[in-house]
Amino acid sequence: MKKLEEYVVSIPDFPEPGIIFRDVTSILQDPDGLHMAVEGLINMVKDIDFDVVVGAESRGFIFGTPVAYELHKAFVLARKPGKLPRETVSREYALEYGTGTIEMHKDAIKPGQKVVIIDDLIATGGTVEAIAKLVEELGGQVVKICFVMELAGLEGRKKLAGYDVEAEIVYEGK
């Protein structure tokens, strides 16, 4: 049986020279890879007491929804600005070249709910840090943060210090 990292296509010099792009879509394109990735995420959280899965736009939706479905939990979207139809809360975060903003519905997390955040990749950690802060602003408690892949060389875990963070695949570089 293949390991999950064998489903990842690595593309050298994309988007710029010296960068190795880890393509998560190659996991999605293979039924065994997709199944293995989702099962790995389920195994990370199956013994944790939680109420809600929050998925980061957009690949966190792909990986988080089947986890929520399988474990019979609610699923909440964390989206780019202007995509959610009801009243939202938002948080700005730093990007490599500028800033980004993430939003959630104001009523998405109830006070006291325990939350798992799922995304495909942790790089610098800014997006998921912003999501965690929004969860806490709404009165929720982040009990676990899960990723399919981690680029450890970008030190995203530093921004998530104090949270329980786990990744299925860890690449030492950037």
Which of these is catalytic: 59, 79, 91, 103? 59
Active-site option among 16, 87, 96, 172 = 96
Strand pairing class (98-105; 74-78): unpaired
What is the torsion angle, in degrees rounded to the nearest 10, for the CA atoms of residue 114, residue 121, residue 124 and residue 142?
Answer: 0
- 166 classed as catalytic: no
Rounded CA separation 8/116 (Å) = 24
Size of the chain, expressed as the number of residues it contains: 174
Centre a 10 Å sphere on the Cβ of residue 90 and count the other Cβ atoms it contains: 16
6 is catalytic: no
Place of tokens 């980004």: 100
Q: What is the distance, to the nearest Å, from the Cα of residue 15 to the centroid of all Cα atoms in its chain?
A: 21
Q: Are 116 and 48 in contact (CB under 8 A)?
A: yes
Q: Residue 143: how many CB atoms within 10 A of its CB?
A: 19
Q: Which residues are catalytic?
A: 59, 96
